[in-house]
Structure formats: structure tokens, C-alpha cells
Amino acid sequence: PAQGRLAGRHILVTAGPTHEPIDPVRYIANRSSGKQGFAIAGALAALGARVTLVAGPVALATPPGVTRVDVETAREMAAAAAAALPADAAVMVAAVADWRTEATGQKIKKDGKGPPMLTLTENPDILATIAGDARRPPLVIGFAAETGDMIEHAIAKRARKGADWIVANDVSGDVMGGDDNSVHIVTAQGVEHWDRMPKDQVAARLAERIADAL
């Protein structure tokens, strides 16, 4: 059996972007390397947790000891996350596309009649759904990538989505795809400011913080 502070715990992590197909060759997506989410999954597993990592399309190796479920769209991610319950904690790091469109089976051609109109439909909010589930994990953590008024937005997001913690990160610099991150942890107790550090270290500290809370 696994050893460590999180031995016997099951933790759900979502990571990466989702891709919403427009046609067989095009899609709508958010910018996300998946690095921070994969690092968190690995750090939780290193503390002995059983980790289910629901991953959107990314080019990353599965961290040791992590069970990975690959998905493409937000709706697939929502289904895989729900199927992973029950869990002791959920860490929703994925950059889920907010909208999808009705994909066509054939490639849309440039026909000289101008660009096609895309009708967008809102995707399910996976974090809010998990936070409101009858089998809600005791600890639900969301992320907030913001470019301004970060803390205010994170506090509002925490309430709106029913999360216990929001990890706010400022993505106005070179955080996207980079190896460092600068985060602030928003909880019911207040806001903790963490120094800028490598994403692996953010992950290790967050995993310890989760172990403290469970």
C-alpha cells in the first residue's frame, strides 16, 4: 500500500485545455500547457494519494503513480470528472473552453462568400458542477487565471463556484507555458501570497497544504 501523508486518499485533478471542434481540422481552445496541473497531480501522488488526472490535449508525460484519463472536449472532461467521484479532494486546474460550437463533419471551405458564422453554446462549468454535486469532495479547489484585479476576481469566483479555495495566478507576464508561477491562495480565512517559484514547487507546497487540510 502507498505510504505518505495522503495514503488512502483519492484526489481528482483536471489539467490542460479542452478542444472544441469546429470541423475536422479546426477547434476552439484556451491557452494551457497543462504543466501546473500535471505537476500538482505528481506532487499529490508523491505524498501517497491515489490520483485521477483528467487531462485535455497536452504533450506531457504522465507523472509516476498517476492514473490518467485523456479527454478532448469540456463535455468529455465533465463526464470523466463526475465518473472519478467519490474523491477526498478535487483540484480543478484545467483551462476549460467556455464555449463550443456545433461541429460539422466536413471541413468548412473558403467559398468566397465571406467567413462562416459560428454559433457558440456555453459549456458546463465543471468546477461548479463538482462543487454542487451530492458527492462533493470535502475539499474543492479551483484556479483563476487573471490579468488584473486578481484577488477581487478570485474572491468572487470562490463564492460563485462554491469552491473552498481558489488559487489565483497572474498570467499577465510569462506564466503561460513557462516554468514559474506566482500564486495567491484565497480561502474562507483570507488570502495567502506565495512568492514566485517554479511550478513544481507550487505543486509540492499545494500538495502539503492539501494534506494539512484533509
Could you list the residues that contact ligand C5P (CB under 6 A)? 14, 74, 92-94, 96, 123, 125-127, 142-144, 157
Residue placing its CB nearer to ligand C5P in the complex, 14 or 33: 14
Q: Which amino acid is at 38?
A: F
- Binding residues, as ranges, are 98, 107, 124-127, 143, 157, 161
C-beta closer to ligand C5P: residue 45 or 96: 96
- Smallest gap from Cβ 127 to ligand C5P, in A, equals 3
Cell reading at 94:
484545467
Q: Are strands 183-187 and 190-193 parallel, antiparallel or unpaired?
A: antiparallel
- Residue number with CB closer to ligand C5P (164 or 200): 164
Name the packing angle between helices 199-213 and 35-46 (round to 10°). Answer: 50
Minimum CB–partner distance for residue 128 and ligand C5P (Å) = 7
- Residue 144 or 175 having the CB closest to ligand C5P: 144
Instruction: Decide if 59 contacts 20 (C-beta within 8 A).
Output: no
For residues 108 and 134, give the distance between their C-alpha atoms in angstroms, rounded to a whole number.
Answer: 42
Smallest distance, Å, CB 157 to ligand C5P?
Answer: 6
Task: Name the grid cell of 186.
Answer: 484565497
Asked about 169 being catalytic, the answer comes back as: no
Tell the residue number behind the cell numbers 463538482, with chain if given: 130
Shortest reach from residue 10's CB to ligand C5P, in Å: 18
Given the residues 30, 123, 169, 181, the one annotated as active site: 30
What residues contact residue 187 under an 8 Å CB cut-off, 6+ apart?
Answer: 164, 165
Binding site membership for CTP: which residues?
A: 98, 107, 124-127, 143, 157, 161
- Per-residue DSSP letters for 135-189? T--SEEEEEEEESSSHHHHHHHHHHHHT-SEEEEEE-SSS-TTSSEE-EEEEETT
Active site residue ranges: 30
